[in-house]
Amino acid sequence: METGIFAIVLCSILFIVHMYVVGIVMTTKKWSDKRFLCLALFLSISDAAMMVESIWHASIGGDVNASESSHYQCTILSHLTSGTILFSLLQTLFICLERLNATFATSNIILKQLTSNLAVGIGFILTHVYVSLRCGVELFDIEGNSDKPKGCDPTYSFQREFLLFNEIPNLVFVTVITSCYIAIIVRMVKQHKKVPESDGLTDLQIQQKKQSALKMQRNVVTLSCIVAITLCAVLPRCIYGLYFQRRPDTYTKVSSVHDAVNVFLLLNPLFDPFVYILRMKEVRDRLTFQCFKRNNRVVGSFGNQTDPSHH
C-alpha cells in the first residue's frame, strides 16, 4: 500500500514537472526550428504519458484478489506502459542520432531522415503495435490459464514471456544508445585534438579555444550521465527478472526488490528534463523570464493596494 502511494505521489510530481517543461518549450522562440529541442519535447510528452499510466496502474494494481475488470485493466496498462517505455528509449536513440549528426561538418541525409517527425510517428506506431499484439494474446489467455499470475499480481510483469517480450527490445535499444553516445564522445575528442596549438594564436583565438574545450568537457559529462542513467534505469529490472526466473517459488512470493527495480524505470523521466531541455540556454532564459514576470505581477499587486492608515 505504501509503495503504491509513493508511486502515485512521485509520478504526479513528475507529470506536473514534464507538463510545465512542455509549456516552457512551446513558448520558447522558434522552438520548432530546433530539431534537438523538438525531439526533447516529444520525449517529455512521452514521459508525461508514462506518468499517467503509472499512476493509473498504481491506483488499481498490487492486489492478487482484485476483480476481473481490474485484472483486465492492469494487463492493458502493463503492456501500455511497456510500450511507452520502449518508445521513450527509441526517442532517446533519435536524440542520440541527432547529436551524432551534429558532429559532422555537413548534415548527414540518412541521420536527418531517421530523426524526422515522420520517423518519430512511425516509431510511436510500431512500438505500440508491438506491445498491443502481446496484450491481445494475454487478454485472450487470461481466463484460459489460471496458474499464471493475473494483471494486478505484482509478479505479473516478471513472467518469463512478459520479460522476454519487453526487456529484450529495451536491452537492444540501451546497447545501441550506449554505443552511439560512445561514438559521439570519441568524435568530439578527436575533433578537439585537431584544433591547432596555442602557439601563434591571437588572444581571441586562445579564448575561443578555451571555450571550445570547456564546452566539449561539459558535453562529455552530459553524455556520460545520459548513458549512466539509461543503464541504471533498464538493467536492474532485466538482471533481477533473469534471477527471478531461477527461483523455485517463482510467482508465489513478492519481494520488495520487485518494487525497487520498477522504481528504477522512473530514473529516465526524472532526469530527462534536466539533461535534455533545462540545460539549453534559450529554455533557461525563457524560464527565468517567466519567473521574473510572475514575481513582478505579485509585487505589483501588493504595490497597488491602498494602505488603510492613509484614509
Tens-place pLDDT, residues 9-44: 999 999 999 998 888 888 877 777 888 889 989 999
Residue that is written with C-alpha cell 505589483 in the block: 300
Domains of the chain: 2-282 (1.20.1070.10)
Q: Which set of grid coordinates corresponds to residue 145?
A: 490459464
The pLDDT tens digits of the residues spanning 37-96 come to 899 899 999 999 999 999 988 888 766 666 778 888 888 999 999 999 999 999 999 999
**HSE-up of 16 (CA within 13 Å, CB side)?**
5
Cβ–Cβ < 8 Å for 222, 257: no
Measured CA to CA, the distance from residue 32 to residue 34 in angstroms comes to 5
Report the distance separating Cα 276 and Cα 78, nearest Å.
Answer: 27
Q: Is the pLDDT score of 210 beyond 60?
A: yes
